[in-house]
Amino acid sequence: MLWMACGVAVAMLFSCSTTRNSAKMSGLDRLPPPSELFATLDSIVNEGWQLYYSERVNWIASDLVLEKFDMDAIGGSVTWKPNDSVWAAVVYDSGAKNCIFEYRYNFVSNQEESMDVPRPISSLEQTEINRKKRMIEQAVDKYADSLYFANQSFGSPNIDIVRINSKLTRLYFLQGTIKPDVIPFGNDYSIDFDEKLEPVAFRKYHRSLIATQTKTEDGGKVETIMHSHLKDNPFITPTDICNFLLYRPEDLTMFFVYSTAYKCKFAYSYSLNQIITVTD
């Protein structure tokens, strides 16, 4: 699922290359070398899917647990990746001592499992709970003035944590929505934490909310959706891919981002599961 078909990407990339001008290079001419570009785009796709799995698992667990428990019985939750192929959501009681519900999704085998028999929180789960609390506290304390979201009538922000490697963990703030037929691109941020859980980098992916309609005013199907990125975010972002996967209608399989840095469009294709480079 997560591999890029590099041969297809190469063909598309070079089929839309432009003629070089010795006096002035176009943005497309400044693209990284193919091997570097493919690695970058592949990494973005992989991270976008991991972010999506985290969000989706949390959505499903939230819906399921509220069918079985009152809000007063719930103390909180943490969504984490216990191994290389599984995302899990653990919901704990108000005393933060016991797991009262767990949902697991294996994205390799596509198997899912729900458990609603109370049990003590494991030491690994407690570590993840403590990590989440500390990261959110530090993120809000340091970057609250830089975080902007829509009002509650549009939707609340969502928080996700993706482990990039053994030394880097990324905390995401994503704009959610309760509006139908809308993909909420924008209002998305990330804070990177080192192995000591100290914040080391802050990133704002879009300047504002881009509430993209997936139906026309008369209820018809939207064929193409696109937004643009400033030079500090030249490629499609993992947050773009995540929210596209979360909110897209089934028949919408591609979206475009115009890169002002490279003066070309990047497209994420769901059917190919890759980012391709296109020009008009």
The 10s digit of each residue's pLDDT in 34-45 is 999 999 999 999
pLDDT at residue 7 is higher than 60: no
**pLDDT tens across 199-237, in order?**
999 999 999 999 999 999 898 999 999 999 999 999 999
**pLDDT band of 30, cuts 50, 70, 90:** confident
Count of alpha carbons within 13 Å of 59, Cβ hemisphere only?
15
pLDDT score at 26: 54
The whole-model pTM stands at 0.88
- Taking a C-beta distance cutoff of 8 angstroms, is the pair 81, 71 a contact? no
Cα maximum dimension of the chain:
70
Between 25 and 190, whose confidence is greater? 190
What residues does each domain of the chain span?
33-213
Other beta carbons less than 10 A from residue 148's beta carbon? 15
**pLDDT tens across 87-126, in order?**
999 999 998 999 999 999 999 999 999 999 999 999 999 9
Q: Please give the helix or strand (H or E) that residue 48 lies within, else none.
A: helix 34-68
Count of alpha carbons within 13 Å of 9, Cβ hemisphere only?
23
pLDDT score at 27: 62
pLDDT score at 17: 34
**pLDDT tens across 64-91, in order?**
999 999 898 999 999 999 999 999 999 9
Bridge partners (DSSP) listed for residue 168: 165
**pLDDT tens across 127-166, in order?**
999 999 999 999 999 999 999 999 999 999 999 999 999 9
**pLDDT band of 278, cuts 50, 70, 90:** confident
